[in-house]
Structure 1
């Protein structure tokens, strides 16, 4: 019997109609992470004003889960302070999507990691100035 990967309705919605797709010209922060096992690559771009994520966009090359988690994490991060956004975990992303199949959990890890990398990039730039 063939194994079926069960996606929630929310995962399907974010996969079919992802939010916040694209790049930001001259972003305040940029994060890029990849998973060599599945080949997924995620890029997250942020614009920050007064310690708040004013705009956030993503480019993801990967499976449906990778696209859905990128879309969800950008929705979750928009309007949050940097500290609040750094607190978003891989489990938070999966929970917001009403769960991910166990085989696809690594995808949600990437979305949170890419967001955190973008914030760390932004903070690093602030220290240099």
Structure 2
């Protein structure tokens, strides 16, 4: 792995946290970056506006793995408004930074988590009927 990555990035690549799927997830979202081929799938168990559990599956580069991994740590146990406040810069900062050309990875993770909150609030929480 490149010397351009922090030790935290390298650690999350070697030992990603919260990898897998959740059988009891009530929200599943996918995000990707077609330009580089990265794709992530987040599984969330949300109860009472709080993320009780989160897992992810990913196909991507080391930065995509690290940003998805640290993002799960950042949102676990957090309220949904806190998740919406999480942005790509906060994810990159939690990893002690990313090279500029890899910031799209942290944006992918943040965007997917924002979409999960929106999906939960609009369908699971009952504001909108699910697609049949």
TM class, shorter-length: over 0.9
Corresponding position of 2:128: 128
Give runs of aligned pairs for residues 13-32 of structure 1, distance below 5 A.
13-32=11-30
Q: Return the TM-score normalized by structure 1.
A: 0.92
Residue of structure 2 in register with 1:67 after alignment: 65
Unaligned runs of 5+ in 1: none
State the 1:128 CA deviation. Answer: 3.4
Distance in 1 between the 2:118 and 2:28 partners?
9
- Can you list the C-alpha shifts for 1:60-113, whole angstroms capped at 9, x where unaligned? 110000000000000000010011011100000000000001111111110111
TM-score (norm 2): 0.90
Instruction: Compare 18-27 and 51-60 and name the one that shifted more.
Output: 18-27
Cross-structure match for 1:84: 82
One of 16, 41, 44 as aligned partner of 1:43: 41
- How many residue pairs get aligned? The number is 126
Q: Which moves more between the two structures, 32-41 or 113-122?
A: 113-122
Which protein has greater RCO, CA pairs closer than 8 Å, 6+ apart?
1
* Residue of structure 2 in register with 1:96 after alignment: 94
Structure 1 runs of 4+ off > 4 angstroms?
none
What's the secondary structure of 2:68's corresponding residue? helix
Distance in 1 (CA, whole Å) between partners of 2:115 and 2:60 is 18
The two structures, once aligned, show a CA RMSD in angstroms of 1.3
Shift of 1:16: 0.4
